[in-house]
Structures are given as structure tokens and as C-alpha cells.
Amino acid sequence: MNPSTPPADDPGLKLSPCPPVEHANDGRVPLKLRRVAIDTYRENVAYLHRDCDVYRAEGFQALSKVEVRANGRRVLATLNVTLDPRIVKCDEIGLSMDAFAQLGVEPGHPATIEQAEPPASIAALHRKINGERLGREDFRAIARDIAEHRYSKVELAAFVIATHASELDREEVYFLTEGMIEAGQRLDWRERLVVDKHCIGGIPGNRTSMLVVPIVAAHGLVCPKTSSRAITSPAGTADTMEVLAEVELPIERLQEIVRAHRGCLAWGGTAHLSPADDVLIAVERPLSLDSPAQMVASILSKKVAAGSNHLVLDIPVGPTAKVRSMPDAQRLRRLFEYVARRLGLSIDVVITDGRQPIGQGIGPVLEARDVMRVLQNHPLAPIDLRQKALRLAGRLLECVPDVRGGDGYGIARDILDSGRALEKMMALIEAQGARPFDPEHPPLARHTFGVHAPADGVVTGIDNVQIARIARLAGAPKVAGAGVDLMRKLGDAVRAGDVLYRVYAEYPADVAFARAATERASGYTIGAPHQVPQVFVEF
């Protein structure tokens, strides 16, 4: 078959020969830019037609790295090649949505494309793949090339797996963290004390940040909370806050809000803070790789870049949490403390109960309902979410010199009970751009079904991983009103047929996926009271 002829079984592709394209003065070929409406999730992708003169003349290969220039700007992208002129024509170059936005031009603007230079750090990557120890300059170069999208997805995966398989020593973790900070911008709030709270993740619900920020900001502390969106979880802080307010804020607007209100709850993607981390996360999470080294570098680079100098870090421990045992938690704690100390960041690591989800709702709307109920001191507010948020906020408040150790919890409780935390949260919501939301009538997905206890007994186990998976199959977080609403927690007595939780989904297909998952494994274990697992925590 001639390469320019479409397959016989695809009558929709009717290709005509490409017209000749005149070359620019510098020898490169100008093509017209086209925005291709494909979300490639943090990966810049370029598209050329297979019969394009440029593709043929320049010896491009699919999945190779190319450099696209227009309007005095450049974008590094992974090349995809198409047969379909409906995607790009022969005189066009297409760019995925994020890549197109980076050039700041209109469709049809002339652009040039050429082979990208190999990453300068590729030799260091190969040495790490071979198990060698890398130095400070090696990690700086790698972080810089990752942030500039010079690595292909294959090379990124190789780096993630290499650092996972041959565990980095603690100084290498510090070098990687330092390199990731330097590859982006760093905020300076010109305040003596800038605080933050972070959880290593893995526990559904657990939306404590949305309570801690208004509590400590109401006390006067600066808390610029920039959070991520969910990748493999049913909701991130940014997804849940987006139910209540805008979270994609220009960096200038974010800074104005923090200076005016002492805090924010925003998505961190617009701030260009530790951009190498954003790229790496897009590879790590789908591979279910979360090594201690990458976790420490990811979290601490983001916090230092955001201008924080005091961090309370939540490490949940439980049978289905990221950290399964107390010895593992202590090892991770020591690594965080070592790297934080080298970076000049004060850190307070708190080991918490990770045996089950925190709160009642799992999914953006359900979690937003729980948060607002806690702030409103509502009788149906989940007690575990309230208590955990108060204890974490109390630990942050105790970094203030005039707050004695042990007094923070009481101060945080008074701020919450008095309504000052709710008042601060409403001010943040208004400043960021409020969205209508009634916690008494949350906009849940249309379809719902209950999952029932198979026998009499006590809830002796809740699988965090399975509950999160069911919520995602139901549509969360892309469908904000989808998710899981828990009716029973550990230690609760149940009778056969009692509803353990309800699943909400917008589309019949999502209902079917989620229902099939619950039938294979509900995520709940029913047994005798003495079978409830115990965990030692450090609150």
C-alpha cells in the first residue's frame, strides 16, 4: 500500500496530496498552528500529518521530541503522526490544549518545528538507571530538563522506576528536592512565619486542609495553601474547593488574596511551583509508584517553593494506607525531617490513624458538604473530620511563640465553635470567586444505590483503596456529585441488610461499573468487636 493511501477499511479518510510548502528564510518550514482539542494531561503533544513535507523532509519519527516556535516562544512536545486531515492538515502543526496555550497565539499563526536537542542530563539518567549515586549538579540538571518537558514519557518512567528500584540515599533525596525547587519559581511572602499543612495521601475523605486553613488564618497566621487535583484518588483538595469557589487563580491574584485574607485554597498548577514535580506525578501515580524518596521530594519542594517555612505533615498509618506500619512511618518521618532541616524548613510530623476514610463523603460535592457542616457546627458534621482538623490546626498554632505547647487545640476549637473559621472561609470563597452551594441540598449525581451489610456484627475493617476505587468508578472527581457516602465506620454495630454506604453516579455506565466493583469486594469487613485493628498514633 502507498503510504499516502488510507486503509481500505477506513472510508472516512479521503486524503489529497499535500500542496508544496515554502521554506522560511532560516531553512525551517512555516506551518499554521492548530489547537487540537485533546487533553493530554500535562504532556505537550504536537501533531503532524504523515504526508506533510516537513515530516518527510526532516526525518521526524513518532514519539520523538520536537521544538515548536511561534511568537518568540517555544514549546517542547512529543510528536504524534496522523493520517487524518480532520486532526491536522498537511500545512498545519497541531498542539494539544496545554501546549497551544503556552505559545499565546491564535489558531493559524505561523510556527516552525524542528528536532529537539537531547536532554543535557540524559547521561546522568543513564547512570541512575545503572544504579549509580548521583550528585547535586546531576539532580539539578535532571529536574531542569523534566520541568522544561525535555524528557519523553518513556524517559520519565525510566527515571521514576530507577529512583524507586535503587532507593536514593537521604542526601540524594535532598539534592533532588533542591533541584526541583530551583527549576521553578519561589514565592516570598515577606513574613516571619508562613505555615502549611499537608498529608501524604492515601486516605479517602480526609479534607482537613479546608478546615485547617480558615482556622489558622482566622488566628492571623499566613497559610498559602496550594493543592493538587486528584490523579488516581476520588478528589483532591483543589477538586473539593472548586465546588465552592474558583481555584485556578493567576499567581498575582493568589498573592493578593493571601495578603488580604492571610490564606487561600487554590490549585497550584498556575503558580509554576516545582514544575518538575507536576510532570513526575503524572507518571508516578498511574504506575502506582510512590517511593519515600519521590514522596519527600514532591511534598517538600512544593512547600518551600510556595514560601512556607513551617509545615505540619500528616502521615496516616493503617492496613490499607500508604504507610502500613509504625516502623515504616518512623523511617519516613526521619527522612522528611532530615531533608526539611537541610532546606531550612521547620517540620512537625504527626502520625495519625489511617485505618479508614476520614469524614463521611468521598467525592468533591460530598466532601465539600462535610467541610461546610464542620465549619457551621452542624449536628450532622462528621466528628472524626472535625477532631483531626482541630488537632492539626492546633499543632500549627503552637508554632506561634506566644502559644504554649498543648494550648493549640483549645484555641483552634474556640475559633471553630465561635464561627470565626466559617467567617474566614466565606471570605476566602468570596475572594476566590464564589460558586453557589447549599450543604443541606448538595448537587449529588442522579443515580444512587446502597451497599448492604451481609451479616450481623461489627465493622472490623474498611479498605481505603477499594472504597476510593468504587468512588472513582462512580465518576469522581470528574463528576463532582459522584462518589461514596459512608453510613458506618469502624466499630459500628450492624445488622444484615443495613446500608454501609451509598454510591452516587451520574451515568448508567458508571452505576454499572461501581456496582460490579461493590459486588466483587464491598471494601467492608464485618466481624466481632475484638477483630477491629488497633493503631498507635501520635496526636
- pTM, two decimal places: 0.89
Given 138, 239, 277, 290, the catalytic residue:
290
pLDDT for 298 beyond 70? yes
CA distance 520 to 534: 26
- Predicted confidence at residue 4, as pLDDT, reads 42
The H helix count followed by the E strand count for the chain is: 18, 18
- Predicted confidence at residue 229, as pLDDT, reads 84
Residues 290-319 have a mean pLDDT of: 94
- Predicted confidence at residue 539, as pLDDT, reads 56
Confidence of residue 288 (pLDDT cuts 50, 70, 90): confident
Q: Is residue 55 a contact partner of residue 45, using CB atoms and an 8 Å limit?
A: no
Q: Measuring CA to CA, which residue among 441, 446, 450 is closest to residue 498?
A: 450
- Predicted confidence at residue 19, as pLDDT, reads 57
H helix runs in 104-206, sequence order: 122-129, 136-147, 153-165, 170-182
pLDDT tens column, 434-460? 999 999 999 999 999 999 999 999 999
Map residue 91 onto helix, strand or coil.
coil
Radius of gyration of the chain (CA): 25
Residue 359 backbone class (left: φ over 0; alpha: ψ -120 to 50; beta: rest)? left
pLDDT for 8 beyond 50? no
Confidence of residue 378 (pLDDT cuts 50, 70, 90): very high
Residues 341-364 have a mean pLDDT of: 97
Bridge partners (DSSP) listed for residue 75: 68
| Length, in residues, of the chain | 539
Residues 479-485 have a mean pLDDT of: 98
Residues 355-372 have a mean pLDDT of: 98
Residues 29-47 have a mean pLDDT of: 89
Residues 6-13 have a mean pLDDT of: 48
Joined together, the cell numbers standing for residue 119 give 536532554
CA distance 261 to 337: 30
Mean pLDDT of the chain: 91
Beta pairing class for 73-82 and 45-49? parallel
Query: What 8-state DSSP symbol labels residue 380?
Result: T
Query: By mean pLDDT, which of 272-286, 308-322, 384-398, 489-503 is the weakest?
Result: 272-286
Map residue 501 onto helix, strand or coil.
strand
- Predicted confidence at residue 295, as pLDDT, reads 92
Confidence of residue 2 (pLDDT cuts 50, 70, 90): very low
pLDDT for 236 beyond 70? yes
Q: Measuring CA to CA, which residue among 526, 176, 210 is closest to residue 364?
A: 210
Sign of CA dihedral 273, 276, 282, 287: negative
- Predicted confidence at residue 344, as pLDDT, reads 97
Place of cell 481555584: 247
Domains and CATH numbers, the chain: 31-115 (2.40.40.20), 195-270+306-432 (3.40.1030.10), 447-531 (3.90.1170.30)
H helix runs in 248-325, sequence order: 251-261, 275-284, 292-305
Classify residue 213 by burial, with Cβ atoms within 10 Å: 0-12, 13-18, 19+.
Answer: buried
Confidence of residue 538 (pLDDT cuts 50, 70, 90): low
CA distance 514 to 466: 11
pLDDT tens column, 163-214? 887 679 999 999 999 999 999 999 999 999 999 999 999 999 999 999 999 9
Q: Measuring CA to CA, which residue among 16, 38, 430 is closest to residue 214?
A: 430
Percent of all residues in the chain with a pLDDT value above 90, rounded to a whole number? 79
CA distance 196 to 320: 26
- Predicted confidence at residue 532, as pLDDT, reads 84
- Predicted confidence at residue 17, as pLDDT, reads 56
Residues 455-479 have a mean pLDDT of: 97
- Predicted confidence at residue 291, as pLDDT, reads 85
Helix (H) or strand (E) holding 390: helix 383-397
The values of phi and psi at residue 20, to 5°, are -65, 150
- Predicted confidence at residue 16, as pLDDT, reads 53
Confidence of residue 80 (pLDDT cuts 50, 70, 90): very high
Map residue 225 onto helix, strand or coil.
strand
SS3 content of the chain, % helix, strand, coil (to 5): 40, 20, 40
Which residue type, as a one-letter code, is found at position 318?
G
- Predicted confidence at residue 270, as pLDDT, reads 74
Give the distance, in angstroms, between the CA of residue 483 and the centroid of all CA atoms in the same chain. 18
Confidence of residue 3 (pLDDT cuts 50, 70, 90): very low
Residues 292-314 have a mean pLDDT of: 95
Which residue type, as a one-letter code, is found at position 324?
R
Q: What angle do CA 17, 19, 23 make, to 5 degrees?
A: 140
CA distance 533 to 519: 24
Mention every residue, 6+ apart, whose C-beta is less than 8 A from residue 162. Answer: 125, 128, 129, 131
Residues 311-325 have a mean pLDDT of: 96
What would the DSSP string read from start to end of 61-129?
-TT-EEEEEETTEEEEEEEEEES-TTT--TTEEEE-HHHHHHHT--TT-EEEEEEPPPPTTHHHHHHHH
Joined together, the cell numbers standing for residue 439 give 450543604
Whether 402 is a known active-site residue: answer: no
- Predicted confidence at residue 537, as pLDDT, reads 62
Confidence of residue 153 (pLDDT cuts 50, 70, 90): confident
Percent of all residues in the chain with a pLDDT value above 70, rounded to a whole number? 93
Joined together, the cell numbers standing for residue 8 give 481500505
